[in-house]
Structure 1
Amino acid sequence: MSSLQRPMAAPAQAPPGSLSAEQAKVVLAEVIKAFGSPENAQRMEEARDNACNDMGKMLQFLLPVATQIQQDVIKAYGFSNDGEGVLKFARLIKSYESQDPEIANMSGKLKAMFLPPMTLPPHGAGAGGVAAS
């Protein structure tokens, strides 16, 4: 296949979903900002109310709204406009968290917007734990 037969790629762009740490910060900031918009904040609040702190209902009501809000932002940066695009974005952010404290902090803020805080069982409680003697 000659180069004339191939579909033209966007000039000087990284492959879809490939962002540098600095670019990832910009996109992450935009996603966080999108969650704070009055319209999206209301959508998230309604989804939270419908979920009633039930984890199963959180997945049913809250996660789709959170996914849609993220899709609306990240599609402009080469990610597919579907759940897979959001997963790729999340994996990319995760890959930068250990290298960049600012990204780790922003990622934590984003997760807190749509994931309930996880409470750990008290230390040593529960089946399967080994009792110290």
Structure 2
Amino acid sequence: MASASTQPAALSAEQAKVVLAEVIQAFSAPENAVRMDEARDNACNDMGKMLQFVLPVATQIQQEVIKAYGFSCDGEGVLKFARLVKSYEAQDPEIASLSGKLKALFLPPMTLPPHGPAAGGSVAAS
């Protein structure tokens, strides 16, 4: 539970862009790049292992940046930052782009399942 002295971080869209850019930059720092590479190697493209190895490292890297902007230095702070960014994505294409770049740094590319008639049937229209 957060202490009473902890103020929730409130960033403007412009501030959110700055923080997003700093977070993305943090992933390219040599020590963080090594940490992420090791985590990805351990995960072997297995989604369960990605959650086990990659996500915690990515969370730590983000925490190191966002704590300077008033977010708590824990998973909850990262979630609050993510929700804030998400709230600006629809209004600001630059934030949406930066957010996509950030996610691409630690989320594996998603492949869509096959669909259509070749996938084994169709949905009946009502």
| TM-score, normalised relative to structure 1 | 0.84
Relative to structure 1, the CA distance from residue 65 to residue 127 in structure 2 (aligned partners, 3 Å threshold; closer, same or farther) is: farther
1:44 Cα offset (Å): 0.1
Aligned length, in residue pairs: 121
Distance 1:129 1:18 in 2: 47
> Which has more helix, going by share of residues?
2
Question: What is the alpha-carbon root mean square deviation over aligned residues?
Answer: 2.1
Deviations 1:91-120 (A, max 9, x none): 000000000000000000000000001111
1:16 Cα offset (Å): 2.6
Say if 2:118 is the partner of 1:130: no
**Pairing partner for 2:101 from 86, 90, 109:** 109
Pairwise mapping of residues 1-133 of structure 1 onto structure 2 (< 5 A)? 15-124=7-116, 130=123
Aligned amino acid, residue 23 of structure 2: V
Alignment check: 8 A CA contact 1:31 1:73 kept: yes
| TM-score, normalised relative to structure 2 | 0.88
Aligned amino acid, residue 56 of structure 2: P
Aligned amino acid, residue 37 of structure 1: A
Is there any run of 5+ residues in structure 1 with no aligned partner, and where? 1-6, 10-14
Q: Which has the larger radius of gyration?
A: 1
3-state SS of 2:71 partner: coil
